[in-house]
Amino acid sequence: MRALEDLGLLGDYAVWFITPSIYIVVTAVTILALGVGALLRDQNIGSIPLTVGLVGSVWAVGAVWWAVWHGLSTSTPLRLWVPVATTGIALGVTALYYWGASFVNITHLRHPLILLAVFGQLWDAAQNLIGVTFLGYSPKLVVTNLVYQATGFSGSTFVLKLVVTVGIVWYLADAKEEMNHTWWWLMTFFIGAIGLPMGVRGSLRMLLGA
């Protein structure tokens, strides 16, 4: 939705999809999905995770369809190679991480949620890499922009995020047995959740030439 707002596709509704309003909207939708999921679970016809996942998937697919439809209907040239490149880079480096983790005696380094967190952060890093290297963008975050300005290396953000992400998930994987189960899941999910949306947003914006 932030990508749609960036592209000016939300009109008067844009105010609901910028900070801080978007947090209220997402929280409300999440609570609604949790409530519906709980009702379906009690009726033995569904579950909370399935309901939340379905609502999120429909929302995401709808937003992407809206943006692509706008691009096609307005003859906006689509950079189809961008999402292919960003997703491919993120998947490729995540696969290398998975392979490398097999040589380390920490079982949870290859936990599915850890892999999701790594992929999410690397997708964000990949869209930054493509934007800076090929499309003349500059890193948005203060820290990453400072590193880029200091090094002049277009891949500086990617390297920085890769190192930081591996360090964080290494700690989480090593501490899984000692940490509270719920807190571990929340923290690990959070790492992925702050990367995935940025990867989607950046890839979608560049796809549509924004």
198 confidence band (pLDDT: 50, 70, 90): confident
Global pTM reads 0.73
Query: Which tokens hold the place of 183?
Result: 């807190």
Q: Is the pLDDT of residue 121 over 60?
A: yes
| pLDDT tens digits, one per residue of 140-177 | 777 788 888 888 888 888 898 899 999 999 999 988 88
3-state secondary structure of 72: helix
Question: d(Cα 157, Cα 161) in Å, to the nearest integer?
Answer: 6
Return the percentage of the chain with pLDDT > 90, whole number: 19
For the chain, what are the domain ranges?
1-76, 78-210
Q: How far is CA 96 from CA 39, 93, 103, 115, 116, in A?
A: 41, 5, 12, 11, 14
| pLDDT tens digits, one per residue of 1-49 | 666 666 666 666 677 666 677 778 778 888 888 888 888 888 888 788 7
